[in-house]
Amino acid sequence: MTTPASELIQYLESVAPLHLQEKYDNSGLLVGSSSADVKGVLICLDCTEDVLDEAVQKGCNVVISHHPAIFYGLKQITGTSLTERLVIKAIKEDLILYAIHTNLDNILQNGVNERIAKQLDLNVEGILRPISTGTNEICGAGIIGAYSSPKTESEFLGLLKARMKTGVIRHSKLLGRPLQRVAVCGGSGSFLLEDAIREGAQVFVTADYKYHGFFDADDKLIICDIGHYESEQYTINVLHELISSKFATFAAHCTQLNTNPVHYFT
């Protein structure tokens, strides 16, 4: 018994519908035919040449990434850029490339941010910035959660560093206040700062904050930048759990590669 890629794709898009992706995004089937049978799935955060080699070695013909392998338009495919080389290698190795990006960010259940909240032992209260879809879907950017009892700043920062496996936390000024309500957004979340403040968060966990953006905390809360890769790393586990629990005709694997392009000198 075999499973066509179309069935896997249909399932993923029932969990995180494509219409929930941001306008700038490029989620969905990027390379390959959905009519091909799935031999195995490799799940990753970033699609790199090494990841494609890993897929071939593991006997996987489907690579599911969070970040799209093709983000901007291609005018030629000559192998002079990483994206061009990925497309060439995928076609040569008969691989299917699929991305599930901001549509997975924008769902509550089984989404990127819910997993961050679980890692931090937060009780999820809801979406930080809901979006209207015309249905009863609960979706949008970020999550607001809370602890049953307050934590000190040092307790929270220690928990955050350990649970999110980050080498460093860049943060705004500590305020000497107990922390109980926490806003989270995997990836680049600075656009949600005002939403976090409005929801009464005492700390906002996200990534990709610029220098001047830390001033915007303005003693209202603490901004914690834990790194883009670090904030989204558990997305791989979310997808693996979803796929493994649904399909028994093929194996799903989490990549063994750390694709974080940012390194720390400590």
CATH (domain of 195) = 3.40.1390.30
**212 marked as binding residue:** no
Tell me the three state secondary structure of residue 18. helix
Looking at the domain assignment, is residue 26 inside a domain? yes
CA distance 41 to 62: 5
**Same domain assignment for residues 167 and 142:** yes
**Same domain assignment for residues 13 and 86:** yes
Mean pLDDT, residues 13-21 taken together:
96
pLDDT digits (tens, 9 = 90+) for 113-154: 999 999 999 999 999 999 887 777 789 999 999 999 999 999
Reported as a pLDDT band with limits 50, 70 and 90, residue 61 is very high
pLDDT digits (tens, 9 = 90+) for 66-106: 999 999 888 999 999 999 999 999 999 999 999 999 999 99
Please tell me the pTM assigned to this model.
Answer: 0.95
Range of the domain at 165: 106-231
What domain count does the chain have?
A: 2
Using the structure block, give the residue that is written with the tokens 């990841």. Answer: 51
pLDDT digits (tens, 9 = 90+) for 168-204: 999 999 999 999 999 999 999 999 999 999 999 999 9
**171 marked as binding residue:** no
**228 marked as binding residue:** yes
**240 marked as binding residue:** no
Looking at the domain assignment, is residue 190 inside a domain? yes
**263 marked as binding residue:** no
pLDDT at 110 over 80: yes
Best CA proximity match to 97, nearest among 132, 49, 135, 133: 49
